Amino acid sequence: RYVSQQKYIQSHGAPANEYNNDYVGVASYNIFAGIYVATIFGGAVFFDLIWPERHEDHGVRLGWKLSAIAGIFIHLASCIAMTVIVATHSAYVTGVSTAEGNRLVTENGKIVLDYKHSARIVTSVVFGWIGWIFVIASTVILVVGKNHDEKMGPWSTHVREAKKNNIDVESNFVNGQPSEKPLTNPLTGEQPETLAPNHPQPAHIHEPIRTQEPAMEMQSNHHSFDSSAPAVNPAHT
């Protein structure tokens, strides 16, 4: 915003000019410090998540540690410089009278010349110091993590035990030993019910049931037999 205001004053009030190089310079350095910190710790997180089993020489691990420690001092220098300049400096207009300079500043949008009276600038300073605290915490985590990897490797204890015993990494462990019981749910604190082992069952072949068709009745059975009819005398035939 100060750069835009400087261009406006130069174009509308020549030979007027606004001096704000102190704040523009320290703000640029603050951007560099943020990019440096994001590059170091962002790269470390990316490689640890995507490629945790990678091989790194001692010099590479030492470089990670020194780069993280350097980030503390780079960001600290930015915070100190921002605090001093915002608290003690201010922009000003040169080349014209004070009244003319104030008029040009007012026409541009009332951007205050005194840095400490700008809410945005003060907020950036406050967040800069908060960010520096997190840079220290991130550096401690990175250094401790690299020291752990040098001694124990990138894997956790239960994964190392699983790989050493040729056990599935995704199986449950209790006190470093594989367990058949499900672990306690870390979210609810409840222990789920034990599931029965899922053993494959032998295949059962069901033969189709064959139903006997009713026997064909004899042709004579299709005719009814009348028992009341008189007997036929063979002599009359």
All structural domains of the chain with their residue ranges = 2-142, 153-183
Q: Where are the beta strands (DSSP E) in the chain?
A: 17-19, 92-94, 173-174, 177-178
CB atoms within 10 A of CB 231: 5
DSSP 114: B
Compute the distance between CA of residue 131 and CA of residue 78 in angstroms, rounded to an integer.
Answer: 11
- Of the candidates 159, 153, 185, 186, the one whose C-alpha atom is nearest the C-alpha of residue 173 is 159
Compute the distance between CA of residue 8 and CA of residue 13 in angstroms, rounded to an integer.
Answer: 8
Written as one letter, the residue type at 104 is: L
pLDDT value at residue 154: 67
Q: What are the angstrom distances between the C-alpha of 17 and each of 9, 20, 30, 228?
A: 6, 10, 25, 142
Buried b (16+ CB within 10 A) or exposed e, 26-56: bbeebeebbebbeebbeebeeeeeeeeeeee
pLDDT value at residue 14: 72
Query: pTM for the full model?
Result: 0.62
Compute the distance between CA of residue 216 and CA of residue 85 in angstroms, rounded to an integer.
Answer: 115
Residue 229 Cα to chain centre, angstroms:
103
Helices (H) and strands (E) in the chain, counts: 6, 4
* Three-state SS at 179: coil
The angle at the Cα of 92, spanning 90 to 98, to the nearest 5 degrees, equals 135
Low-confidence ranges of the chain (pLDDT < 70): 10, 12-13, 110, 153-154, 156-237
Residue 74 Cα to chain centre, angstroms:
26
pLDDT value at residue 130: 97
Compute the distance between CA of residue 98 and CA of residue 43 in angstroms, rounded to an integer.
Answer: 50
